Amino acid sequence: MIKDITIGQYLPGDSFVHKLDPRVKILLSFVFIVVLFIVNNYRGYIFIALYTLAVILIAKIPFKYIFKGIKPILWIIVFTAVLNAFLTPGTPIFQKGPITITDRGVYLAVFMVLRLIFLIIGTSILTLTTSPIALTDGIERLLNPFKRVGLPAHELAMMMTIALRFIPTLLDETDKIMKAQMARGADFESGNIVKRAKNLVPLLVPLFISSFRRADDLAMAMEARCYRGGEGRTRLKQLKIEKRDITAVVITTLLVVISILSRRF
């Protein structure tokens, strides 16, 4: 389950999506998330599904990575669906004792499930097709205008990217420690919530120690390479907006227009 989380992972590739400017991909990801909350009917989600499927196919991302990204949040999806199905007022379609399922509840349950699934897929595509270095450059360039008000754009972008980059590493470390503790007789699954929380102590302590050790090693490596922040730093690859970036923006703009029209009509 822990290794199924795909946010933070990067799949090297040479596709149209991989070659897009990281600034464009970050902005389009935010636009995609906004569109998910604009759409309020199933017709709009048909276009979102087609757009998402096209991006996955163009980026040549194996569908197993998409399914792996959804698997860890299945319990959240089920909980959201059940909550909406049973607690939304409307015309009852099933009733047995205190349990009542309404037509409006089923409608909202399916609607919220689709929204969560597309939200995870959209954010996963961003990290799967953008290298950590490109992601750092994109975030920094987008935050550059805020330097005038004293925002440390480079340092903030570096921290965000390092945190995102180390998600898979920490998850892998957690899995190794958990298996090692289970081999020594630790039980992380049985008992009530309080007992499970106590059983996590043998897992959390070595995980925190390992995390601090990795952070210290990273800091020493950056100092050994004379890293002093963003002032005066140059880049081997300069970010430039090209025709493919404009094409991606136009296509996503069409998706936004269609979503707004589907909401009105």
Q: Mind spelling out the 3-state secondary structure of the chain?
A: CHHHCCCCCCCCCCCCCCCCCHHHHHHHHHHHHHHHHHCCCHHHHHHHHHHHHHHHHHHCCCHHHHHHHHHHHHHHHHHHHHHHHHHCCCCEEEEECCEEEEHHHHHHHHHHHHHHHHHHHHHHHHHHCCCHHHHHHHHHHHHHHHHHHCCCHHHHHHHHHHHHHHHHHHHHHHHHHHHHHHHCCCCCCCCCHHHHHHHCHHHHHHHHHHHHHHHHHHHHHHHHCCCCCCCCCCCCCCCCCCHHHHHHHHHHHHHHHHHHHHHHC
Average pLDDT, the chain: 82
What pLDDT is attached to residue 233?
67
pLDDT-derived band at 208 (thresholds 50, 70, 90) equals confident
Q: How confident is the model at residue 51 (pLDDT cuts 50, 70, 90)?
A: very high
Answer whether residue 1 shows pLDDT above 70.
no
- Whether 28 has a pLDDT exceeding 90, the answer reads yes
Mean pLDDT of the 159-186 span: 79
Instruction: Tell me how far CA of residue 230 lies from CA of 218, 224, 226, in angstroms.
Output: 17, 16, 12
Q: How confident is the model at residue 6, as a pLDDT? A: 60
- Report which listed range, 24-38, 169-183, 193-207, is most confident: 24-38
**Side chain identity at residue 204, one-letter code:** L
Question: What are 63-98's pLDDT values in tens digits?
Answer: 888 887 787 788 888 888 888 888 778 777 777 777
